[in-house]
Amino acid sequence: MSLKLPSAPNSGLFKQGYQTYASEDGAVSRNIQAVREITSMIRTSVGPCGRNKIVVNHLSKIFITSDAATILRELEIVHPAAKLVVMASQQQENEMGDATNLVLILAGELLNQADNLIRLGLHPSEIIQGYELAQKFAVDAINDLIIDEITDLTDATQVSKAVKTTLASKQFGNEDILSKLVTEAIIHVMPKKNPKQFNVDNIRVVKIMGSSIDASTVIKGMVFGREPEGSIKKVSKTKVGVFTCPIDISATETKGTVLLHNAQEMLDFTKGEEKQVEAIAKELADTGLRVVIAGAGVGELALHYLNLHGILVFKVPSKFDLRRLCRVVGATPLPRLGAPMPEELGVIDTVETIEIGGDRVTVFRQEKEISRTATIILRGATQNSLDDVERAIDDGVNVVKALTRDGKLVAGAGAIETELAEKIVQYGERTPGLLQHAIKKYGEAFEVIPRTIAENSGFDATELMSRLYAAHSKNDETSKNFGIDVEDSTENGLVDAKAAGIFDLAGAKKSAIELATEATNTILSVDQIIMAKRAGGPVMPQQGGTSGNWDQDD
């Protein structure tokens, strides 16, 4: 029997329902278009004057933010090429905690420039080779454009210098207040001997509604938005026991029946339980601990006897917070109820309940023992604004983590991108062959950052860009530091980033450029998409849509 060749392309090759998009059908252009749509959505959120987006996710939770990583995390993107750029942005968030917008915008613009080159007749392989050469040149060029370096991470002035720009890009106008809070928290938890051991988990944020952001404070310790369980509200300089099991007498796993003949037997039965609980409370008190942390429920009877022995009982329902608290006090979490061994106990300087804006909170202060921790108490009018400030603080803390690896800083405000654009275009002109077109377009793509900052700040971008290029072409010591002045405090709309204290992390820039280029090259190297048929039956439209009924025949 001879094999029948399929007459139509791919017919009989795949199961019914498969979809294929080849390069002849414009698969590369479609991929570029998909990424362009995402980046055009995020582009208006770049810079200090970037606009916020309202994102309502699948759980109907509302997010109001300009943070690209948060926006994309809550959007359910299904296009495979667009997902590649989103993954690159998420990798930047995990690695550096900042410059996620740069990855997306740069990748989108690189693909935009590549689309123009493809229309001119260049093959995607030539564009990829040109982009790779240009990326290596850009990363090396950043090393020559370093204008400052953070050498001492225990110095508040130096840490604030690096954190302030990141906070200003998310919370413009509040950067002075927030950088002071973040710096104070970082200096408290920063390991003096080895700053590379700095742990971002040692800085917590607790949001309390009310007042304004000016009322925010830093507390040296852990803060929980609840009161202790019993009547003891404050203890100092004591041992701590942490239990992941319920603080109560254990119930048997099997069912049984107890036959009681008279009232006396019933009294004796309940007294037996009481004696058992009292014995446990005395056993705990004899070890010298005065604070019990419970990871599960606390029984009424157990609480009564622990109060009698002067033991503060605090419940922490979150396993994550329980582990963090164990690290702070130096205790071992115990899955059994009983007297802890001496090495299983932790120590704490002070546990007290204080009132902040009408809310009673419990503070665990740890000045120098075991592992330091700091909590930033954020105040604000709405939950959404508090959430956005928390995201900005998270970025600021992650920047310091990146500084422990590489403390070099470059000029911000779009200055570094303008300088790179000039240098890469010049490098392209010196390169022979067809690759020079891809290299020059790679350089031109960097112009998107200062142009976008200018557009979002309400300036005439074309006029301002010509001034910016003119300032950079002078080739003196300060010319490479000129960027966009979003406050419009100068006549020509430009600012010396170094003099104004606007710095970006060199490591974050390098990482963003590498990830954006890698994502771009991956998308350009795809010439065909083969999509399987979705599992399950047909997807019915939601009831109450535009037609008023899900049944099309109705």
Report whether 272 contacts 298 (CB < 8 A).
Answer: no
| pLDDT value of residue 16 | 65
The answer to whether 99 and 69 have CB atoms below 8 angstroms apart is: no
Contact indicator for 147, 498 with CB cutoff of 8 Å: yes
**Helix, strand, coil fractions of the chain, as percent rounded to 5:** 50, 15, 35
Between 450 and 538, where is the model more confident?
A: 450
CB proximity list for 355: less than 8 A, separation 6 or greater: 361
474: left (phi over 0), alpha (psi -120 to 50) or beta: alpha
- CB atoms near residue 279 (< 10 Å): 11
Residues 63-100 have pLDDT tens digits of 887 777 778 777 778 887 888 888 888 888 887 777 78
The CATH superfamily of 221-251+267-370 is GroEL (3.50.7.10)
pLDDT of residue 291 exceeding 50: yes
Of the candidates 396, 464, 77, 71, which has an alpha carbon nearest to the alpha carbon of residue 218?
396
The token pair that represents 265 in the structure block: 């037997």
Rounded to 5 degrees, what angle do the CA atoms 153, 157, 159 make?
Answer: 40
What's residue 554's pLDDT?
43
Tokens found for residue 311: 């033991």
pLDDT at 500 over 60: yes
Side chain identity, residue 119 = R
End-to-end CA distance of the chain: 49
The CA angle 415-416-417, to the nearest 5 degrees, is 90
Name the pTM for this structure. 0.77
Cα 285 from Cα 292, distance rounded (Å) = 10
pLDDT in tens, 338-390: 777 877 788 887 888 888 777 788 888 877 654 577 888 888 888 878 888 88
* Mean pLDDT, rounded, of the chain: 78
Distance between CA atoms of 179 and 202, rounded to whole angstroms? 17
Give the number of other CB atoms < 10 A from CB of residue 177: 17
Alpha helices in 205-330 (DSSP H): 263-286, 300-308, 319-329
Selected residue with higher pLDDT from 366 and 540? 366
- Evaluate whether 437 touches 144 at the Cβ level (below 8 Å): no
Whether residue 533 has pLDDT greater than 70: no
The larger pLDDT score, comparing residue 254 to residue 312, is at: 312
Q: How confident is the model at residue 25 (pLDDT cuts 50, 70, 90)?
A: low
Average pLDDT over residues 146-152: 79
Q: What is the pLDDT of residues 398-416, one digit of tens each?
A: 888 888 887 788 887 878 8
Cα separation, 368 vs 375, in Å, equals: 15
pLDDT tens readout for residues 167-223? 877 777 777 888 888 888 888 787 777 777 777 777 888 888 877 788 888 888 788
Res 547: pLDDT: 47
- Residue 451's Cβ-side half-sphere holds a number of Cα atoms within 13 Å equal to 13
For residue 125, give the amino acid letter.
Answer: S
Please check the confidence at residue 545 and state whether its pLDDT lies above 50. no
Residue 306 or residue 252, greater confidence: 306
Query: What single-letter amino acid sits at 170?
Result: K
Percent with pLDDT over 90 in the chain: 0
- Both structure tokens of 241: 């026991």
Residue 112: name the closest of 525, 451, 524 by CA: 524
223-266 pLDDT, tens digit each: 887 777 777 778 888 888 888 877 776 655 566 677 777 777 67
Distance CA 65, CA 35 (A): 21
What percent of the chain is modeled with pLDDT above 70? 86
pLDDT at 22 over 70: no
Q: How far is CA 58 from CA 34, 63, 73, 82, 367, in A?
A: 21, 12, 12, 19, 43
Return the higher-pLDDT residue of 534 and 466. 466
At residue 9, the pLDDT reads 55
Tell me how far apart the 2 most distant CA atoms of the chain are, in Å.
105
Report the 10 Å Cβ neighbour count for 124.
Answer: 19
Residue range(s) of every CATH 3.50.7.10 domain in the chain? 221-251+267-370
- Classify domain 18-148+411-532 at the CATH superfamily level: GroEL-like equatorial domain (1.10.560.10)
Architecture of domain 152-215+378-405: 2-Layer Sandwich (3.30)
Tell me the C-alpha distance between 77 and 89, whole Å. 13
The pLDDT confidence band at residue 542, using thresholds 50, 70 and 90, is low
Calpha distance 417→485 (Å, rounded)? 15
Instruction: Give the C-alpha separation, 547 to 256, whole Å.
Output: 60
Q: Where in the chain is the domain with CATH 3.30.260.10?
A: 152-215+378-405
Nearest residue to 98 via CA among 382, 419, 392: 392
Question: How many residues are there in the chain?
Answer: 554
Band (534; pLDDT cuts 50, 70, 90) = low
Tokens of 353: 């309940």
CB 45 within 8 A of CB 52: yes
Tokens of 50: 């970037």
Give ranges for CATH 1.10.560.10 in the chain. Answer: 18-148+411-532
Euclidean distance between CA atoms 545 and 552, whole angstroms: 12
What pLDDT, on the 0 to 100 scale, is given for residue 7?
A: 47
Q: What is the DSSP letter of 534?
A: P
